[in-house]
Structure 1
Amino acid sequence: MATIAIARAYQQSFDARPHTTLAITGGLFNALGDFVAQVYQNTIGLKPRERPRTYDIARTLRFFCFGFAMSPLLGRWNQFLEHTFPLRSNGPASKVSWVALGKRVACDQIVLAPFGLALFLGTMGIMEGRNRRQIQQKYSDIYVPALLTNWKVWPAAQLINFRYMPLPYRIPFQSTCGVFWTLYLSMLNSREDAKQDREAAMHRILG
């Protein structure tokens, strides 16, 4: 079956080049999330009398670059959680420790989630060519609402991920779920960019 063949190819690639495999996987899923977001914004998400915008390839490439760079770091983070909070401390046949699982999820959401979101907003701002004031405005407008939304969605996804996914497949699972999260972040970031562009244009007009 195709799914088995893909899984086997992924495992072989991961065994040979783990960081490269994670980087490409994360980058592609991030790009897919932005692609879906742009298609949505230009079809279902259009407001009355609003014209569709030209597909922004550079925007998708920015999402690919962020996913490409971030995924190997996430791989190392998962290794850290795996060794710091072992689910079966008494051997493979022992019962899963739900306390350890809870600690994994809590650590992931308390430490990595705020850091990852901050890194996303800053990196996107830099790649978009925003100035310092505009990047600070991104943080002011987006960071807290996005983090609160993250805490409503990701704990359940990571609970499943840490409990059932083997270590090599945690990033692909996370990236698959992340398509919808990237869609959300892409639209949130796009609205903020549009707002800042309008403000910049108004500032130029008013002198």
Structure 2
Amino acid sequence: MSDEKSNNAIASTAESEREQSSLTTPTKNPNSIPPPSEWLSAYNRILDRHPLRTKMITSAIVSAFGSALGSYLSNTSSRKVDKQTGSVFSKINWTDVLSYAIHGGLINAPISHYWFEWLSVNGPSSNTASVLVDQLVVQPPLLVLMFVCLDIFRANIRATINQFREARVISNALENAGPAIVASWRFWPFAVYLTFKYLKKKHYTVALNLCSVAWTVYLSRRSPAVSK
């Protein structure tokens, strides 16, 4: 009888402790914004798992943001107005923003990643000497490479935009998409059905790529010839 009473007392004590802890422990609101520390911890976890990819994406975003902010501040201080139409130019040079993003993500981030990895292992033991090597030996050619790449990206982006406008890409795509969609419904449902029915999953991609040969031939024959 005494054992039963002691067990009941222990159970009631444990229950009261659980109730007290539930009252004192704050419940997390699923709709609340996580604090900056959680964002930083999540970023560090991603950085540990995928260092190069994370640095490339980060560099692209940061470079684009810096270019957009600099362009906005520059054009805000000196408003540029078209004398013929009187319209104000865009405050942000989106060609520059895209150029800086491409350079930061695809060129600067990989070079910096591998360079600093090599420098930390094979470079001087002194931090001062490492900084001197980085700034005097590596950074000057990287700056030259940056300006060359930015000019190339700007020229290609502008040329692409001009060709995009002159070729009426959107209107032509909309005009050709309708008949092509109808034609695809006469071909692809049967090709996909037969592939799923008679082939193994590992052969799906190969089989559909072979089917796309006939589809590409059809599209090429029906597309209008471009006169030079």
- TM-score under structure 1 length normalisation: 0.51
| 1:39 lines up with 2:77 in the alignment | no
How many angstroms apart in 1 are the aligned matches of 2:96 and 2:116? 28
Q: Secondary structure at the match of 2:155?
A: coil
Q: Which residue in 1 is equivalent to 2:55?
A: 22
Q: What is the CA deviation profile of residues 15-45 of structure 1, one whole-angstrom value per residue up to 9, with x for unaligned ones?
A: 211111000011111001101111111212x
1:124 is aligned, of 136, 150, 159, to 150
Q: Secondary structure at the match of 1:43?
A: helix
Q: What is the CA deviation profile of residues 25-67 of structure 1, one whole-angstrom value per residue up to 9, with x for unaligned ones?
A: 11111001101111111212x17xx435213323211111100
2:119 is aligned, of 63, 81, 89, to 81
Alpha-carbon shift at residue 86 of structure 1 (Å): 6.1
What do you get for the CA RMSD once the two structures are aligned?
Answer: 1.9
How many angstroms apart in 2 are the aligned matches of 1:31 and 1:111? 26
How many angstroms apart in 2 are the aligned matches of 1:40 and 1:11? 32
| 1:66 lines up with 2:99 in the alignment | no
| 1:2 lines up with 2:35 in the alignment | yes
How many angstroms apart in 2 are the aligned matches of 1:2 and 1:67? 28
Counterpart contact for 2:95–2:154, Cα < 8 Å? no
Whichever residue aligns with residue 53 of structure 1, its letter is F
Rg (Cα) greater in structure: 2
Q: Which has the higher contact order (CA 8 A, sep 6+)?
A: 1
Q: Secondary structure at the match of 2:89?
A: coil
Matches within 5 A, 1:131-146: none
* 4+ aligned runs moved over 4 Å, structure 1: none
Structure 2: gaps (5+ residues): 1-33, 82-87, 157-228
Counterpart contact for 1:22–1:71, Cα < 8 Å? yes
Aligned residue pairs: how many?
115
Counterpart contact for 2:99–2:153, Cα < 8 Å? yes
Counterpart contact for 2:68–2:93, Cα < 8 Å? no
Whichever residue aligns with residue 62 of structure 1, its letter is S
Counterpart contact for 1:62–1:124, Cα < 8 Å? yes
Q: Which residue in 1 is equivalent to 2:8?
A: none
How many angstroms apart in 1 are the aligned matches of 2:123 and 2:54? 25
How many angstroms apart in 2 are the aligned matches of 1:125 and 1:32? 19
Matches within 5 A, 1:187-202: none
Counterpart contact for 2:67–2:100, Cα < 8 Å? yes
- TM-score under structure 2 length normalisation: 0.47
Q: What is the CA deviation profile of residues 86-115 of structure 1, one whole-angstrom value per residue up to 9, with x for unaligned ones?
A: 65xxxxxxxxxxxx1111100110122111
